[in-house]
Amino acid sequence: MGEILSANSIEGVVRKDVPERVISRLPIYLQTVETIAATGQSTVSSETLAARSGVSSSILRKDLSQLGRSGRRGVGYSCEDLASTLRTFLGLDRARTIAIIGAGRLGSALADYAGFKRRGLSLTAIFDTDEAKIGTVIGTLPVSDLNELATWPESIDLVVMAVPATAAPAAAHIAAEAGVRGILNFAPTVLDAPDSVRVHQVDLASELQVLAYYSALESAPLNPGFEEHRN
Amino acid sequence: MGEILSANSIEGVVRKDVPERVISRLPIYLQTVETIAATGQSTVSSETLAARSGVSSSILRKDLSQLGRSGRRGVGYSCEDLASTLRTFLGLDRARTIAIIGAGRLGSALADYAGFKRRGLSLTAIFDTDEAKIGTVIGTLPVSDLNELATWPESIDLVVMAVPATAAPAAAHIAAEAGVRGILNFAPTVLDAPDSVRVHQVDLASELQVLAYYSALESAPLNPGFEEHRN
């Protein structure tokens, strides 16, 4: 991981000083600028980049200035430079290896997800504990026995957890033992993972309950901009 | 929606003054306290409630004090009272109606999601535009033609968008026209919805890129608590 660690500080910006609400927007800026660059455009204005990323242009400019990047008046940002800064900053200069745990409908659907590769992520394995699923093929990957994760020949950076709530704690334990550093948890349960593993929770019912709360508000602005969505 | 609007202020708390990072944790507290209550416990300490919700107890106490709720020293919170306060505050005193747009693998998997009903959400319809899917049954619901959404007999509060990125903008337009107030968007694209609709984005690749960023950090604490996860 030397090439990653050496990039902890780029151009004087110490990565861990950048707040998570800013970090969480960078993948979206990256996706937007790559989409724009793919159409042959070489520069993009902060207004266009902001609108297509769903944020206000003042938030966009503040976020990018934290990475030491500012647009030139009347010209905007160079697409290529900006994409490269964002990729380096996020540590996507090497592909991150992903495994999915859970080969049910959700796991299979997530395996199908378009654009892993295009976005610096490499899906390398799918695990399950169900004998009936082990050995079947999803996309191009065979489903492997979860017990093989501990001795898996490739290093796995991140896991997408797509198992029932009751199976999630044991699966998280196996992933942590195997050296996995991050878990994106779709299981509807709070995972108590060791400190070496960062867990992000995607809880469908909670997300919908938060949406329900806002949809019931009489007079609050409904689309206050992306910053407040993530705050 | 009278019963919802009248609850915009409960016990002196104006709902829209509570920050979204607090709102986003309330469904998790609700789920935890309901799980604890189901075991027959009548009170719960802030430490236990916090640990099982994945936050620090100081964050938990601060969040609940914003709703006018504080635990009693040596006793903690009454499970029943706290659950009732949280449900009322979130506007879950009536079930919110949900539709899923997209009857592919992801939409089908999300329809299977355990616990919609238990959490105040009622899945009432699944829509698609594909003739081959319309009329098939997922769980107990038949897949309906998306064009029927505009004249759907039941009011639909929220939509889960599980269609490809290219199909998402048109589907969001149809949902907005039909009076849907919130969209949970799984399509890997930023949705440009009208102001009447609140959109929350669940972007698998972006979530993984954020996790990758943190997993590459040398010395940052990896599990700084839930507040910083959502910040």
Contact flag B20-A222 (C-beta cutoff 8 Å): no
Q: Check A16 against B53: CB less than 8 A apart.
A: no
Neighboring chain A residues of B23 at a CB cutoff of 8 Å = 210, 213-214
* Cβ contact B115:A188 at 8 Å: yes
- Return d(Cα A137, Cα A57) in angstroms, integer: 45
B188 at interface of A, judged by CB pairs closer than 8 A:
yes
Length of chain A: 231
Cβ–Cβ gap A211/B30 under 8 Å: no
Query: Which residue in A25, A209, A228, A229 has the most chain B C-beta atoms within 10 A of its own C-beta, making it the best mutation to test that interface?
Result: A209
Which pLDDT score is estimated for A91? Answer: 81
| CB spacing of A92 vs B209 below 8 angstroms | yes
Tell me the C-alpha to C-alpha distance, in Å, between residue B143 and each of A58, A60, B78, B97, B133: 43, 40, 42, 16, 7
Contact assessment for residue A168 and residue A199, using Cβ atoms and an 8 Å cutoff: no
HEC readout, chain B: CHHHHCCCEECCEEHHHCCHHHHCCHHHHHHHHHHHHHCCCCEECHHHHHHHHCCCHHHHHHHHHHCCCCCECCCEEEHHHHHHHHHHHHCCCCCEEEEEECCCHHHHHHHCCCCCHHHCEEEEEEEECCCCCCCCEECCEEEEEHHHHHHCCCCCCEEEECCCCCCHHHHHHHHHHCCCCEEEECCCCCCCCCCCCEEEECCHHHHHHHHHHHHHCCCCCCCCCHHHHHC
Kindly state whether B53 is in contact with chain A, defined as any CB-CB distance less than 8 angstroms.
yes
The H or E element that residue A199 is part of is strand A198-201
pLDDT tens for the 231 residues of chain A, in order: 333 323 344 444 556 578 888 888 899 899 899 989 999 999 999 999 998 888 889 999 999 998 887 777 778 899 999 999 998 888 887 788 999 999 998 899 888 876 687 788 899 999 999 999 999 999 899 999 999 999 999 999 999 999 988 999 999 999 999 999 999 999 878 887 888 898 888 888 888 888 888 877 743 343 433 333 333
Contact state of A205 with B119 under an 8 Å Cβ cutoff: yes
Show the domains of chain B with their CATH numbers. 2-90 (1.10.10.10), 96-206 (3.40.50.720)
Q: Which residues of B are annotated as a binding site for NAD(+)?
A: 102-107
Binned average pLDDT, 10 residues per bin, chain B of 231 residues: 35 64 89 91 93 88 87 85 90 87 92 78 95 95 96 93 92 94 88 85 85 68 37 32
CA dihedral B85, B88, B92, B95 (to 10 degrees): 120
The reported pLDDT for the residue numbered A125 is 96
Q: Left (φ > 0), alpha (ψ -120 to 50) or beta: where does B28 sit?
A: alpha
- Closest by Cα among A130, A200, A78 to B215: A200
Of B96, B201, B231, the CB nearest to A20: B231
